[in-house]
Structure formats: structure tokens, C-alpha cells
Amino acid sequence: MPEAIISLITASALLLGSPGPATLGLAAVGAVFGVKSSLRFLAGILTGLGAAILGASLGLAALFAAFPGARITVQIIGGLYICYIAYKVATAPHSTDSSTVSQSRPGFADGFFINLLNPKAYVVLLALFSQFLIPLASPAGAYAVTALACFAVGIIVDVIWLGFGSMLRPLFRQPRPARLLRILFAVLMVASVIWAYAQ
């Protein structure tokens, strides 16, 4: 059992923590707006992750595998929404006016829908639940423990990505470098969507 838990935690950290729409979005929002102003976005990301984990544990990922049309529809909607958030990051104003900044800052709903509609999330969760399910006598217990472990790891890696982004915040004090970095983060977010579709 300890070996299975270690394997699950390691795989979860590598898969959930790898660059993707949610993690790059967190880094970008942390870099542009700072940690404190990004907490609602983080809460939305984590709530969306929790919903995706619940859906995967209830067989949503298997349902998507059985009905590719539904999966493709969700992927398209998710990809478009992630591109919208990338646009918000790229076009965020370089301003000290708090009202202008708060209007462009992604919030809870933005984070929630990024992970709920994130194509990478379902691919990763399907792999985790099919390959690293904790072996317990009760199937319901096995899925519950696996889901909780994945969510705990998700919290840690998402906070790390947000912190990483906030460390870049000093680079955002000058308008020109800030603009270039915002565009770079936005391009990476869109690229991660394209990469997820290619899998």
C-alpha cells in the first residue's frame, strides 16, 4: 500500500504539475497580478480540478472515451475559453490604477472553467485512475482515496506555479518587458492547448 501511494503521488505531481493551460495560467496571472490578487483565480482552478477529479472518478473520462463527439465538443469549448483567458493575460493593462487592473484580472469563474474544460485534465486523470488506483478492498474507497490524493497534489503544484509566476512580477514593472512577458505567457497557454489536442 505505501508503494502504491508513493507511485500515485509521484505520477500525480509529474502529470498535474507539468505545463498545461491551468498551470501556465496560474503562472501568468501570478506574474501579472501578484499572489494576493490571484487567490480567487487559484480557488477557481482548484474547484475546477476538484470537479474534474469527481467527474473522472465517476467515469466521465471513460464516457468521453466511449463518445468521442462529446469529448471533442468539450475540448473545443475548453480550448476557446483558455484562449480567452490567454487574451485577457496578454492584453492586461500596465497600470497602477486598481480599478483598471481589477477589471482585467481573471477571477474565480475563469479559473473554474479553465480546469473544468481543460482537455489535459481529463487525459491526466484518466491515466491516474486507470494506472495508479490505490488498491483497497472497497472500490468506492479506492476511488475516494485516489481522488483525495490527486487533489492534495494538485493544490501543492498549483500553489507552486502561482508562486513561480509571482517571482517574475518584478520584471513586470517596466511596460515593454511586461508586455512581452504577458504575450509570451499567453502564447504558451495557447500552445499548451494545441499540444493537449495533439495527444
Domain boundaries, the chain: 21-138+161-198
Per-residue pLDDT of the chain in tens (199 residues, 90 and over written 9): 788 888 889 988 888 888 778 888 898 888 888 898 899 999 999 999 999 888 877 776 566 667 777 767 777 777 777 777 778 777 766 554 444 445 567 889 988 988 887 777 777 887 788 788 888 888 888 888 999 999 999 999 999 999 988 888 887 677 777 778 778 877 877 787 677 666 6
Rounded CA separation 192/198 (Å): 10
pTM: 0.75
Q: Which DSSP letter does residue 169 get?
A: G
Burial class (CB in 10 A: 0-12, 13-18, 19+), 184: middle
Report the pLDDT value the prediction gives residue 172, as an integer from 0 to 100.
67
Q: What pLDDT score was predicted for residue 103? A: 53
| pLDDT for the residue 97 | 43
Res 96: pLDDT: 45
21: Cβ contacts below 8 Å, ≥ 6 apart: 78, 82, 114, 118, 120, 189, 192, 193, 196
The answer to whether residues 134 and 4 touch, using CB atoms and an 8 Å cutoff, is: yes
For residue 108, what pLDDT is reported? 93
